[in-house]
Amino acid sequence: MGEKEKEKKVEFKKTVNKAEAADYLRKLADAIEKGTFTVVDVNIEIPEDFELEVEYKEKEGKKQIEVEFEWE
């Protein structure tokens, strides 16, 4: 058996207002259409087809929306 691939993870977290969040998502949408975008310093190639998941949760007064793209 071969060695398992090591997990690679980068995260971008920042407090923003509604307008800044919308602007970031518009730029992200443009980059996805072009097929590539960068998170922190990692360039990510996006395939033509992938799984999209949007999740909303509430727990102990905290509300959260997660948007996830997944492919192999």
Per-residue model confidence (pLDDT) at position 45: 96
Looking at the domain assignment, is residue 63 inside a domain? yes
Domain count, the chain: 1
Looking at the domain assignment, is residue 24 inside a domain? yes
Report the share of the chain in percent with pLDDT over 70.
Answer: 94
pTM: 0.79
Q: Report the Cα–Cα distance between both ends of the chain, in Å, rounded.
A: 20
Looking at the domain assignment, is residue 28 inside a domain? yes
Looking at the domain assignment, is residue 4 inside a domain? no
More confidently predicted of 2 and 60: 60
Cα–Cα distances (Å) from 9 to 20, 31, 32, 34, 44, in that order, read: 24, 19, 19, 22, 12
Q: What is the mean pLDDT of residues 48-66?
A: 97
What is the domain extent for residue 41?
18-70
Looking at the domain assignment, is residue 64 inside a domain? yes
